[in-house]
Amino acid sequence: MKPIHVGLLGLGTVGGGALTVLRRNRAEIARRAGREIVVKHAVVRSLEKAQKHAGDGLTITNDPLDVVDNPDIDIVVELIGGLDPAKELVLAAIENGKHVVTANKALVALHGNEIFAAAQKRGVMVAFEAAVAGGIPIIKALREGLTANRIEWIAGIINGTSNFILTEMRDKGAGFDAVLGEAQRLGYAEADPTFDVEGIDAAHKLTIMSAIGFGIPMQFDKAYTEGIGALTREDIRYAEELGYRIKLLGITRRTANGIELRVHPTLIPARRLIANVDGVMNAILVKGDAVGATLYYGAGAGAEPTASAVVADLVDVTRMHTADPGNRVPHLAFQPDALSSEPILPMSEVRTAYYLRLKAFDKPGVLADVTRILADLDISIDAMIQKEPQAAEEQVDVIMLTHVTLEKHIDAAIRRIEALSSVSGAVTRIRLEELNSH
């Protein structure tokens, strides 16, 4: 049978990894796919750097249209990242009747609706397993493996850089800035780490998983994002004392009023498996009504882990290459005309529990004032610690864990607590999730 011809847009870390895996496992992949998958053309910025990949009938050029417009290419793999010119190239490839595989989470999260509509109209496939959690096959699990389930919630550690920083802060007692510098030195963090530490990268991935899990359009603009830059080693230590770990979590949950879509630092019980995922590793919990809670763990980045997902997509597209478009797995798991219009909840309407830390003057009546404010807003306290004052300090740290309540009630409580003359400075608030399997 005629081989499937692939064109790579980008031959960097992931592109080079995909080419290596395809060449190394060529026979095994052909046995799985039913025909050979051969990379015929690659587009790169630097022809000189790409020469190490030459040979095996591979043409290397620096004009992406050489691949997109090449009639001999069946599948275009977009690995250049960013939005421009990636979006235009993907849409051009689709218009030319080519299937597309991409690892570009920002592109899928922000423009997936438009891209999938174009692919549906043209009768081609767009596969994007590598866009979320590197080598972990979470997209396939959501689209296919859990298709019998009504997904209830998804919670994931889906940014390795942030997870590495939080792990180091906990293990070494170091501050955020020091650990970020170490992450940059080791190559885990970019020179500009904003997308990672501010939760934007995780929100791209969460948007994709939420759309597939609940059958809704991509709505990245409605995702709530809060990063880890304000976390202190004191809060990480206090969380440990209370039996919790702090992780940057992406959480999306189906509720009676709409869909939660949020990324933020979160306290998780230390006994949960996901709380013990450390370093640059990723993990995603998915709760389905029939299967219960399932956990997916592995490398969320890197050349060959991400290439594993890219090649898996190439095999899937190859298998379904000649299938009637109506019999293929829909891009967002649900049929395109059956997507839900359930709203994304504003953060003020989200219900969760909270960790609160405040500095209060060590004198009678202070805690009574604070607990009265919480009671007035129907916020009940689950646990509380008052630390001993340090030498020459008039204020003490008071840490409280609340039961589940509305975010807008906590917002109101914090404003009133901060206005107390007996409280010094701002109240620290970190959300808390039990992540129970029931």
The catalytically annotated residue of 87, 98, 140, 205 is: 205
Burial class (CB in 10 A: 0-12, 13-18, 19+), 390: exposed
205 classed as catalytic: yes
C-alpha 205/C-alpha 82 separation (Å) is 14
The total of other beta-carbon atoms located within 10 Å of residue 161's CB is 24
Alpha helices in 74-199 (DSSP H): 86-95, 105-122, 138-140, 160-172, 176-186, 194-197
Structure tokens at 143: 């689209």
Look at residue 398 and give its three-state secondary structure: strand
Burial group, residue 42, by CB count within 10 angstroms (0-12, 13-18, 19+) = buried
* CA distance to 181, 245, 250, 251, 317, per residue, from 433 (Å): 29, 11, 11, 10, 38
How far apart, in whole angstroms, are the C-alpha atoms of residue 78 and residue 126?
A: 11
Rounded Cα gap, residues 130 and 314, in angstroms = 11
d(CA 10, CA 307): 12
Judge whether 236 and 246 are in contact, CB under 8 Å: yes
CA nearest neighbour of 311 among 93, 2, 4: 4
Residue with tokens 């994709």: 208
Q: Which of 387, 101, 377, 382 is nearest to 237 (CA)?
A: 387
Residues designated catalytic: 205
